[in-house]
Amino acid sequence: MFRKISPTVIAYLILFIVIIVLRLLIILFPSGQTASQIINLTDTLSIGVIWLIGWVGVYLAPGTGFTGMWQKGISQRKRFLEPALVGVGIGILSVILDIIWPLASKELVGIPASLIAYPLAGIIEEIVFRLFLTTTLVWIFSNMLLRGNWQELVFWVVNGFLAVFYTLSQLTQYENLFASANLWIVAHFFVMIALYFFLAAFYYRRYGFLAAISMSMGNFLVWHILWGGIFRG
C-alpha cells in the first residue's frame, strides 16, 4: 500500500510530524520569550489550517513546473546542502549590513527559545508563501487563464508580486525604518528581504519545496537565531 504513495506525499506527512514536534516544544517556553508574531502564527489552529492548505500546492505543483518535494534525480546536496549554505550566506550579509546600518527590530526571540520558534515559523511561512500562494497563483494564471503557456514567465511575475507583498509585510517588525530618512537602510531592508525571497522561490521551483525550507533554515540560523540572540542578549 505504501508503495503507491508518492515520495512527495510521504515527505509532506513527515514535515507535519516535524511541525507538531516543534509546536509541542515551543509550549515549554513562556510566551514572553517568543515574539508575538510567531505566537500568532504558530497557534494550533493556524498550524492545522496552514498545513491543510499546503496540500493544494502539493497537488498542483507537478502540473505547474515545480520540482517534486522528493523527486528522483535531485541530489541531497542540491536539496539540502546548497540552499542551506546560500541561506547562511544571505544571513551573514544581512548581519554585516545590520552592523553598518542597523535595523532596530521590535521583537527578537532569544536563545534557547529561538532554536524552536524560528524553525517552526520558517516552515509555516514557506508553506504559505511558497507551497500554497506561489503554486496556486502560477496554476491560476498559467494553467487556467493561459492554457499552460508561459509558466516560467508567470512564475517570475508571481514571485515578484509576492516578494513585494512579503517585504511590505515585514515592516511591522522594525521601528522607525523610514523615520530615519536613511535611504541606505531602506534599500538594505528591501534588497535583502527581496533577495532572500527570490532565491528561496528559485530553489523551490528547481529543486523542490524542501530546498526552499533548507535555505530558509540557513538564513534563520544566522540572522534570527545567532544574530538575534546576540542582539537581544
- Locate the domains of the chain by residue range: 2-232
All residues at 6 or more sequence positions from 130 whose CB lies less than 8 Å from its CB, including other chains: 57, 200, 201, 204, 209, 212
Mean pLDDT in residue range 59-71 = 94
Task: Give 33-54 pLDDT, tens digit per residue.
Answer: 565 555 555 677 888 999 999 9
pLDDT above 70: residue 16: yes
Q: What angle do CA 20, 21, 25 make, to 5 degrees?
A: 115
Mean pLDDT in residue range 130-146 = 95
Distance (Å, whole) CA 22 – CA 217:
14
pLDDT above 70: residue 108: no
Q: Which residues in the chain belong to E strands, given as ranges?
A: none
Rounded alpha-carbon distances, angstroms, from residue 218 to 10, 21, 74, 164, 212? 23, 20, 19, 22, 10
**Cis bond upstream, residue 83 (ω within 30):** no
* Angle of the 183-207 helix axis to the 209-220 helix axis, nearest 10: 150
Distance (Å, whole) CA 167 – CA 32:
26
Task: Give 168-220 pLDDT, tens digit per residue.
Answer: 777 666 655 555 556 666 777 777 788 899 999 999 999 999 999 999 999 99
Distance (Å, whole) CA 20 – CA 72:
27
